[in-house]
Structure 1
């Protein structure tokens, strides 16, 4: 019986040693992965630092170049011409007036942008005025549609009607179709 207990003890010791070896290898793998991650993080940090330093240098160069060039207001200021006078006759009031007439390029751009904005965003009253103008032109269109109907009643083909009225075939066809649907309803 003692031999049986000694045999079971050796087997349990062997299983325990295998478990310890297995756990040790797993732990070593985890440490290796952790070291690789730390190395990758350090490399990424170095790359980002180098990239940021390079961008900073480029920005500083750009700022130096930009500040060395004259500004847009300095190069594009427009002065209205004043009539030539003798230097002794020109007063300080004329100088003030000439300075007040100075227009810089950015303000001109604002004025143009405002004009474009006003054109694209019309008020309802302006739209109503355009509709009234269109309604005034409507009698000519009614005359053309009446001509189309009368020529159609005379038996002319769509092509002949289009030639006589200097209209397109499709326009004549649509006018006739709309007239038919208008009569049916």
Structure 2
């Protein structure tokens, strides 16, 4: 009988110890959830203030744009009212010689084309280390180049070691 009583106390002690451990885990999780909720509230406040500031800047920009357009339209009306209309007979006719030389020579056009080919071949020869060292503008140019070659956004992102969304945004802003 004493043996069973001892075993019962041991089992009760072990269960009490497990309950204490579980209670500590629950309080730890609740504390983490509270901290997470506080961080979410801070982020929401920061984003809402940023959006409010952004909206204010947009409204200010629109007001300035409207002011400029009204001032330009009034200036154009004033200038059109001040300047008399010109008769077509008074305007001298300029003759263009169709046999004249073009503004850019063939050599200039060929050098521009060779530079573009050189850029495309230099893009093809980049190693992964060189790709990681590219600046923002070079990454943009390279992603546009790869898109022109027919690669998908996922393939470009994999090739540049960047995120798919980052490449999508680069290409969207390029358009």
Q: Does the alignment reach a TM-score above 0.5?
A: no
Q: Normalising TM by the smaller chain, what interval?
A: 0.3 to 0.5
* Greater Rg by CA: 1
Q: Normalized against structure 1, the TM-score is what?
A: 0.41
Q: Normalized against structure 2, the TM-score is what?
A: 0.43
